Amino acid sequence: MDSQILNYTIMVTGSAYGTQSSFCAYQFCQSLLANTPHQIRSIFFYADGTLNANYFVSPANDEFDIVNAWQELSKSYDVPLFVCIAAAQRRGVINEQDKNNVGSQFQCVGLGDLSESIANSDRFIQF
């Protein structure tokens, strides 16, 4: 039996801290990419999930740095990190020339990019 390589689109709606959503999503993505031949087409941060892109988030020394972890995952596996620009702006995550607190690996995009990614994926998972 041939094993099929699947393309995933992941949506994260939980904030960086305060819920397990983002960390669970990160663990899933890390495990999928490190242990299977499957691929992640994109990771889309929506609603409170956009807070994962705020590089001003500064966890305590003994806490897991989820913002940095997402960026390292993106670099290591060449996975785009998309942030809904409208949802981000409502939460103070801003990517403008004179005001910018969006981490370097995150790209502010519209919902059309999410739709396109889902349409070209085999699986869509929301955390």
Residues belonging to the active site: 84
> Cβ(86)–Cβ(44) under 8 Å?
no
Cα separation of 11 and 71, whole Å? 15
**Rounded distance between C-alpha atoms, residue 9 and residue 121, angstroms:** 6
